[in-house]
């Protein structure tokens, strides 16, 4: 390695691309991941600009128009059990569904990382105390914990978000803790400590940059789970309340229509599926681009 640099000084003169630039380049070349990102962007934009994009009011319907099939004049994707336009409701539904799916993972990303990094960096008794507490919540199957908490707290958007955040903190904290613990004994941290850097500085400068990458990849794959779980809570009647459009809730109220208008009834679930699979494919692409192994 040293010989090569000595004999070819021209190469070292070329500024090598940064790590994140390389990741970006590899990710852009990944067709599947890019297609998934495109689908997500499209759904996100439609949800953000719902008032402009949606052809009709998602809350207003006429019972005389109820359960029209897909492809009806004026109702491209048919109408629901109260005669509301399905296309408009699906577009508006993206707002609450994405909010409910993404927010818990974002919150858990910050809280879980903080908990895991503190436990991993502190080590000793602090670590044992924090991680054994995390283990207790990890000992519940995720669906069960989400249902138990939001069932006890009572139905509602806020309680559902809170429950899901609690569900996702333990897995993220565990990843953060194991990466930090491995990092703690590495030479460059030793060196920083020896040169008098405080714990906060070491974490900020040396630990965060190395830990957040793997956690981020893991968190993107959790969004897929979170979408399914969040809509599942609404499907059970524990999340968003009617008449607000949300894919899980729409799927629930349309269950009565599976004999009359089966394919209209299945549409909201197809949206959840599309978002969930896109997040999974994007996460897979990101993982191989970053060469993060689990």
The stretch among 74-82, 118-126, 189-197, 264-272 that binds other proteins (CB under 8 A) is 264-272
Q: Does 231 bind other proteins (CB under 8 A)?
A: yes
Q: Does 272 bind other proteins (CB under 8 A)?
A: yes
Two structure tokens written together for 277:
């699979």
Q: Does 125 bind other proteins (CB under 8 A)?
A: no
The stretch among 17-25, 175-183, 201-209, 250-258 that binds other proteins (CB under 8 A) is 250-258
| Interface residue with other proteins, options 69, 151, 213, 243 (CB under 8 A) | 151
Q: Does 34 bind other proteins (CB under 8 A)?
A: no
Whole-number Cα distances in Å, 176 to 96, 118, 170, 219, 224: 29, 9, 10, 11, 20
Q: Does 147 bind other proteins (CB under 8 A)?
A: yes
The stretch among 17-25, 42-50, 109-117, 265-273 that binds other proteins (CB under 8 A) is 265-273
Q: Does 160 bind other proteins (CB under 8 A)?
A: no
Q: Does 269 bind other proteins (CB under 8 A)?
A: yes
**Helical H runs in the chain?**
2-7, 9-13, 19-29, 31-48, 50-53, 86-122, 124-138, 142-153, 157-184, 187-194, 199-202, 208-236, 247-253, 262-290
Phi, psi of 85, deg, nearest 5: -65, 120
| Interface residue with other proteins, options 154, 187, 196, 200 (CB under 8 A) | 154
Q: What is residue 227's three-state secondary structure?
A: helix
| Interface residue with other proteins, options 136, 185, 194, 291 (CB under 8 A) | 136
Q: If you ran DSSP here, which 8-state letter would residue 234 be given?
A: H
Among 76, 113, 62, 120, residue whose Cα is nearest residue 222: 113
Alpha-carbon distance 170 to 172, whole Å? 5
The string of DSSP letters for 49-71 reads THHHH-SS-SS-B-GGGTTPPTT
Q: Does 262 bind other proteins (CB under 8 A)?
A: yes
Compute the residue count for the chain: 294
| Interface residue with other proteins, options 122, 143, 212, 292 (CB under 8 A) | 143
Two structure tokens written together for 129:
């105390």
| Interface residue with other proteins, options 69, 213, 237, 242 (CB under 8 A) | 237
82 vs 277 by CB, closer to other proteins: 277
Give the footprint of other proteins on this chain (CB under 8 A). 132-133, 135-137, 139-144, 147-149, 151-154, 224, 227-228, 231-232, 235-238, 251, 255, 258-259, 262-263, 265-266, 268-270, 272-273, 276-277, 279-281, 284
């Amino acid at each position: 390695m040293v010989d090569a640099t000595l004999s070819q000084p021209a190469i070292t003169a070329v500024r090598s691309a940064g790590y994140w630039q390389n990741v970006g380049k590899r990710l852009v070349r990944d067709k599947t991941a890019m297609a998934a990102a495109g689908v997500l962007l499209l759904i996100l934009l439609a949800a953000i600009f719902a008032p402009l994009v949606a052809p009709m009011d998602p809350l207003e319907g006429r019972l005389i128009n109820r359960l029209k099939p897909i492809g009806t004049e004026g109702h491209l994707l048919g109408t629901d059990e109260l005669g509301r336009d399905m296309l408009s409701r699906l577009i508006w539904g993206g707002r609450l569904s994405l909010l409910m799916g993404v927010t818990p993972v974002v919150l858990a990303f910050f809280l879980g990382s903080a908990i895991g990094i503190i436990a991993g960096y502190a080590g000793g008794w602090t670590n044992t105390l924090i991680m054994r507490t995390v283990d207790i919540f990890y000992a519940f199957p995720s669906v069960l914990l989400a249902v138990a908490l939001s069932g006890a707290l009572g139905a509602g958007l806020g309680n559902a978000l809170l429950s899901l955040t609690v569900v996702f903190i333990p897995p993220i904290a565990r990843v953060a803790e194991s990466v930090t613990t491995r990092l703690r004994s590495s030479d460059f941290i030793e060196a920083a400590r020896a040169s008098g850097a405080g714990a906060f500085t070491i974490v900020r400068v040396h630990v965060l940059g190395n830990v957040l990458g793997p956690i981020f990849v893991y968190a993107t794959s959790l969004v897929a789970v979170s979408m399914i779980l969040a809509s599942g809570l609404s499907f059970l009647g524990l999340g968003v309340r009617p008449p607000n459009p949300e894919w899980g809730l729409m799927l629930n109220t349309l269950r009565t229509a599976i004999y009359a208008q089966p394919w209209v009834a299945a549409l909201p679930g197809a949206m959840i599926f599309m978002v969930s699979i896109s997040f999974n494919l994007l996460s897979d692409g990101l993982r191989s681009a970053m060469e993060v192994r689990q």
